[in-house]
Chain A
Amino acid sequence: MSDIIISLDKVKKVYFLDTVEVEALKDISLDIHAGDFVSIAGPSGSGKTSILNLIGCVDKPTSGTVVVGGKRTSDLDDDSLTELRHKSIGFIFQTFNLIPVLNIRENVELPLLLDNQSAGIQSKIESKADRKEWVDFLIESVGLKDRMLHKPAELSGGQRQRVAIARALVMKPAIVLADEPTANLDSATGESILRLMRHMNETFGTTFIFSTHDPDIVEEADHIIRLKDGRIIEDRRRNGASAALLAANLETAEATGTEGGQL
C-alpha cells in the first residue's frame, strides 16, 4: 500500500446562505494514497465540490482535520496555503478556467511563471530551457502542439480541458484535482479527457481526484468515494481492473474518431 497523501478526519463543513445554515459535509473521514486515481461521486449537492475545495486548500473545514501532503491545512496561513497549492496541487475546473488573454502555451506555462513571485523558491524545473522543453512536451502530450499560439477562445471545449490538464501538470504536482472535468463536454470528448488523465496518472504517478455524477466515469477510478447528503455512503478500492477497462474504452474512443484520439 502506498503512502497516504490526503487524509480527512471527522470533517464538517457548514455554509451560511444568508441566515440559513447549510451543512455540506457531515463527519467525513477518508484517506487517499499517493498515485491513486480517485473518483468522488454523488448527485448535485452531495458535497463533492466541498471535499475538493478542502483537499485543494481553497477552503477550510468548519471542524475536523484536513491533512494534505502531511500538512494540516487549518494550521497554514494564506501564503502557505497558496504555496502548497502552487507546488503540490494542480486544478482542472469544470469550466476550464483558462486565462483568456494568454495563449495556450502561456496558459500552460502560467504556474511556472508564478514560481518567480517570491524569492528563494526554487522551481522543480530549474532552467529556462528545461521549462520550455517541459511545457512543449505537455502541450504535445495533450495533442495541441499545432494550437500552441491560439487563444482559449479559439479552441473547442475538449481542447480547452486538455490545456487545463497540461496546466495542472506543469508544476509536477503530487495531486491533481478535477471538478467534474467532463461535465461540459460531449461523452466522447469526456472519455478522451478521462483517458488523458489516466495516462498522466500512470506516467507521472500523480494522484488524480475527480468529482463526477456520471456513473460510467465513476467506475474508471481505482478508488471510488460516493457521497450523499454530505456523507460518505461508499468508499471502495478496485484492484487492477481499472487499467484494462480504461484501455478498452480508449480503443473505442479512437475507433469513433473523436478528438480524444490524440493522446
Chain B
Amino acid sequence: MIAARLAWGNLGLHRRKSLLIGMIMGMGILILFIGNSFIDTALSGLQRMFVQGYTGDLMVTGPTEFPTTVLGETAGSEEVLPHIAQIKKYEDFLARRNDVAATLPLLSGQAAFGIGETELGSGYCFGVNADDYRKFFPDNVTLVSGEWPKAGDGPWVLLSEPTLAILNKSATSPVQPGTHIIMTALANSAGTVIREVTVKGVIKFNQSNKQLEGLTLVDADTMRDLLGFASLRDGAPVLTGQEASFVSNFDPNALFENLFASNATGAAPAAAAPASTAQPGVKAEVIPAWQFLLVRVKPGASSSRLLSDLSAFSKQIADGDRVQDWIAGAGKVARTAVTIRLAFDLLVAVVAVVVVMIMMNVLIISVNERLYEIGTLRAIGAKRCVVRNMILYETAFLAAIAGAAGLVIGLVVLLLLGKFGIRAPNLFFEALFGGQVLKPMVSAGAAIRAFLWILVMGLGASWYPTIVALRIEPVIAMRGD
C-alpha cells in the first residue's frame, strides 16, 4: 500500500509529466476505442448481412483450387464451380450435430436475361429450392409482387427490383410476374445453355449492397442446366420401359462388332440390343448437384468449432472440398474489412512503439529527478520490490485515469456519431459499412482492447525506468539532494 501511496503522491507532485503521459495515454485510448468501434460496427454489420442473408455461418463448396465466395468467384479461374459430390454425407454429418440450426444447398452463377432474341441484361443468380431458401434466410427476402414459387411449378425465376428495372429499360413490353423470359449461360461442358423461365415474382433483399441487391433466385434445376449440371438434376429421372431396356442391355462393343467384320451378304448390322422386352419404369440413382452447402449455427454455438470439425470431416470424406467461414464466403468486402482491422492494429503497434519511447523518456527523467528520494527509501529499509511497485503503480494509475477519460470521451463521440450516422461517400464504403449509413456502435470489446493496449504500452514504457530505479543504491541518499 505504501508503494501505491507514494505513486499517487508522485503523480500529483510531478503534474506536468503526469499530464503529458496521461494525455498521450488518453489520446491513445480514445483513438483505439473509436477506431476499433468503427471497425467492429462495420464488421458486425457485414457479418449480420452475410450470415443472415447470403452465406450463413459456414459454407462448404466442391473441390476448387482457389478461394470461393458465395457468388462463385474463384480467383484465377473463370470455370464453373464444381458440385459437392458428397453432399449427402455432409448433410448427414450436420444433421447429427446439435449446434447446427439449419443447412441450405445452393447453386450460384451468372446468366443473361432476354425476351425472344433480345437480351435485356445479366446478373448473378442463386439456384435454390424456394421454400428451403426462405426458411434458411427468413428475414432477408421480401416479396414485392407476384407469388412465391410452389412445389411442382415449372421453371421459375424471382427477379430482384434492381434487376427488374434493368430488364424493363430495354424490354418492349414490361417484364412482370407471369412474363416468360429466356435465361442464357455459358456452361463449362454444355456450351451455351438456354432455358425459358416464368417470372413468378419480384423480390427485395432487406440487407444488401450494390452487388447483392440485384441477385436473382432461380429454381435449382434450371440453374443446374445453366451451369452444365443437367445430368444431375433433382429427382431421379424416370425411364420408360424401352429406355430402361436399352440402358440395361447396352453393350458398346456390339456397336463396333460388325463394322470391321467381313459380311459378304451385306446384311444389315444386327441390332446391338437383343429384342427388347417391355419393362416398367426404372428409377436411376442420381444425387442432385449443389455447389454450396450453407450452414447456420444455433445462437450461442461456436461457429469456429463447427468449422474445425467440419473441415476435419471434409478431409476424411472428400478430396479438395472447401469448408469456409462467412468472411471467405462474403469475399472481397469482408476480407477488406478484416484487412483494415489488421492494418489498423499494425498502425497502432507502430504508433505504440513511438509512444512507448516518449513515455519511457519522460519516466526516466522522472526517476532521475527522484534519485535521492528513491535512495532514501532504500536506505531506510525499502526493498527493491517497493521501488518497482511504486513505478508500476504510477503507470497503472495513469493508465486508469487517462483510460477512463479516453473511454468517456470516446463514448460521447461514439454516441453522437451513432445518433447521426456517417454517410458512405462511395460504393466501397457502402459495402464496407454494410449500408449507406454507418452508425458506429459502442463496442465493449473495442473498449477492453484499447485499455489493454494502453496498459501494455504503459507497462512497456515503465520497464526500463523501473530497471533504472532499481539500480539506485541507498548510498546515494547520503550524498544529499
Contact = CB atoms under 8 A, between A and B. Distances in A.
Contacts of B8: 101
Contact of B9 (A56, A91, A102): A102
Contacts of B9: 99-102
B480 A91 contact: no
B1 A113 contact: yes
A59 B475 CA distance: 6
A94 interface: yes
Interface string A101-117: 11000100011011011
Interface in B354-385: 372-373, 376-385
A96 B363 CA distance: 25
Interface in A43-60: 49, 52-53, 56, 58-59
B478 interface: yes
A114 B1 contact: no
Interface in B363-410: 372-373, 376-386
A102 B7 CA distance: 11
A53 B132 CA distance: 88
B230 interface: no
B151 interface: no
Contacts of A56: 379, 478
Nearest to A102: B9
Contact of A167 (B380, B385, B480, B481): B380
A101 B381 contact: no
Contacts of A91: 376, 379-380, 477
A82 interface: yes
Tier of interface size on chain A: 20 to 34
Contact of B480 (A85, A93, A106): A93
Contacts of A90: 380
Nearest to A115: B381
Contacts of B154: none
A249 B255 CA distance: 140
B474 A58 contact: yes
B381 A97 contact: no
A165 B2 CA distance: 20
B473 A58 contact: yes
Given A58-B379, A94-B480, A99-B6, 16 more contacts: A56-B379, A58-B475, A58-B477, A82-B378, A91-B379, A91-B477, A97-B481, A99-B9, A99-B377, A102-B5, A102-B9, A111-B380, A111-B381, A113-B5, A114-B2, A118-B383
Closest 9 CB pairs of A and B: A86-B381, A101-B9, A95-B480, A113-B2, A58-B474, A97-B376, A58-B475, A59-B475, A101-B13
Interface of B: 1-2, 5-6, 8-10, 12-13, 372-373, 376-386, 473-475, 477-478, 480-481
7 contacts: A49-B478, A58-B378, A58-B379, A58-B478, A91-B379, A99-B9, A102-B9
Interface of A: 49, 52-53, 56, 58-59, 78-79, 82-83, 85-87, 90-91, 93-95, 97, 99-102, 106, 110-111, 113-114, 116-118, 167, 171, 179
